[in-house]
Amino acid sequence: MSLSPIGGAAASLCWLACFAMSSLISTSHAIAQGSSNSNTVAWSSFQNGGHVLGSIGAFPTRWSDERGVAWQTSIEGYGQSSPVVWNDQVFVTSTSGPNKENYHLQAFGLADGTKLWQRDFANPSPEENTDYVSRAAPTPVVDAKGIVVLFEGGLLVGLNLTGETRWERKLIEDYGPIKARHGIASSLEQTEEFAFVWIERSEDPYLIAINKQSGETKWKVPGLGSTSWSTPRLVPTESGEHLVCSASGRVVGFDPNSGERLWELADIANNSTCTPVPCGVGRFLVGASDGRGEEHAGKAAESNGLVKIERDQNTGSHSAKFLWRSKKATSSFGSPAVSNNRAMLVNRSGVLFQLDLETGEELSATRVKSGSVWATPIVTAEHVYFFGQKGTTSVISTRSMDETHSNSLWDVTEDPDAGQPSAQSMGSSKVLYAAAAAPPYLILRQGDTLYAIKTEDSAE
């Protein structure tokens, strides 16, 4: 979700960070960086699979609605997923119709925003198109061989990069109806061979691994049975990657090869929207908000922290525990970010907390102009970008760790510090849902508009 306010959603939540912590080169890292060609421009999935951008390109730091927009283009319908990028194409999903009868996958040229092609699909389980449910929230995955798209109505499609369908599945025919509070927002995660699909529905939730080339199910296991709009994330460990899923009240690690449940962390609350953030071998940050009517809202701060995955050398079993917990810092819909050995969290009031990554000690707490963050932060060698829900982006220097620029794509007439989203604001086109990095561009997404940002100071 990326339903960034509800994921990746989640969605583009739709929301999480690229991190400069791990130098481990994994299969999914190779996918994200375009392993088949060192010149490949790739933002291959929600949060780019959680992998570091580093210094792969220069990015803009100053822009507005009158400056720095290389192009903008309209998206048919409305969507909350994150854009994904492969070479010269930007892909976005959306939905249209009073009951979300229609799903759309659109491809735009990275250089000028020209629409290259569009594919339309029928929703196998229509639902009233309201501000209270997800709207094309799950973010696809893409690699050199093609793109896999999930829509919350249970439609899963594999296509090649020119838009030709390779296979199509209606998950409701295989596994039953999908009903969930506010809809499904979990985005796809991937390895070179498989895509991971998490359907955390009200009854009989499940997690499946799909062969990206054939669409066939490799394994299917029960979900977590808790509210969630976050996205599965592959976290490297000494014994291989774990597929980590975060739902309200628990975080669970799975073996991505078999679906075996390896460990569970249950001493947590309000962690339903932020996706786990890898920050080294066997370690990840978990984010939680201060509650939106959920139980145990008072545990929000201590549910933000650094988690370590451990393996018992005698039995081979795994467990997970907090290395430290936050005392005051909480997250919004956007997940934490990591830079300069600091964990960075923006709460619903737009306060940026910077914590020592090793100890959890609070280093600073300052209000940023972005306000509440729904989209995934992006981390580069020089800057950290926090994309405010109302259209203002705060740029943090990795040298000073202070806010050096703030940029608005449209006139922000409301109070940017009002962090509590309303149903009306969630349905508005004036919501900045997601961002993707495609050097030298930043690609930003509203519900019905796509922007490419490129300014003259992008070499700073």
For 179-205, what is each residue's pLDDT tens digit? Answer: 887 888 999 999 999 999 999 998 999
The residue length of the chain stands at: 460
Strands (E), 268-391: 277-278, 283-286, 305-311, 318-325, 337-339, 342-346, 351-356, 362-367, 378-379, 383-387
Average pLDDT of the residues in 288-298: 60
The reported pLDDT for the residue numbered 6 is: 40
Q: What is the DSSP track for 108-126?
A: EETTT--EEEEEEEE-SS-
pLDDT digits (tens, 9 = 90+) for 131-142: 888 999 999 999
Per the CB < 8 A criterion, the answer to whether 230 and 200 are in contact is no
Token pair 């995660």 is at which residue?
189
Average pLDDT of the residues in 349-359: 97
Using alpha carbons, list the distances in angstroms from residue 193 to 36, 51, 209, 212: 14, 18, 10, 6
The reported pLDDT for the residue numbered 188 is: 98
How would you class 349 by CB atoms within 10 Å of its CB: exposed for 0-12, middle for 13-18, buried for 19 or more?
middle
Terminal Cα-to-Cα distance of the chain (whole angstroms): 30
Kindly tell me if the per-residue pLDDT of 459 is higher than 70: no
The reported pLDDT for the residue numbered 317 is: 96
Per-residue pLDDT band for 336 (boundaries 50, 70, 90) equals: very high
Q: Which residue has the higher pLDDT, 457 or 212?
A: 212
The reported pLDDT for the residue numbered 174 is: 96
Ramachandran angles phi, psi of 302, nearest 5° = -75, -5
What order do you get walking across the sheet with 383-387 strand by strand? Answer: 378-379, 383-387, 392-397, 403-408
Kindly tell me if the per-residue pLDDT of 291 is higher than 60: no
The reported pLDDT for the residue numbered 57 is: 62
What's the whole-number average pLDDT of the chain? 86
The reported pLDDT for the residue numbered 456 is: 59
The reported pLDDT for the residue numbered 138 is: 96
Here the tokens at position 180 are: 């969930």
The reported pLDDT for the residue numbered 412 is: 67
The reported pLDDT for the residue numbered 413 is: 62
The reported pLDDT for the residue numbered 38 is: 58
Average pLDDT of the residues in 372-400: 93
Q: Which residue has the higher pLDDT, 29 or 71?
A: 71
Report the percentage of the chain scoring pLDDT > 90.
73
Q: What is the DSSP track for 4-54?
A: TTT---TBTTT-----SS-----HHHHHHHTTT-TT--EE-SGGGGG---T
Q: Which residue has the higher pLDDT, 423 or 239?
A: 239
The reported pLDDT for the residue numbered 338 is: 95
Q: What is the dihedral of CA 215, 221, 226, 231, to 10 degrees?
A: -40
The reported pLDDT for the residue numbered 283 is: 98
Report pTM: 0.89
Average pLDDT of the residues in 435-449: 94
The reported pLDDT for the residue numbered 383 is: 93
Say whether 172 sits in a helix, a strand or coil. Answer: helix
Residue type, 380: T
The reported pLDDT for the residue numbered 295 is: 53
Per the CB < 8 A criterion, the answer to whether 336 and 344 are in contact is yes
The reported pLDDT for the residue numbered 219 is: 98
Kindly tell me if the per-residue pLDDT of 428 is higher than 50: no
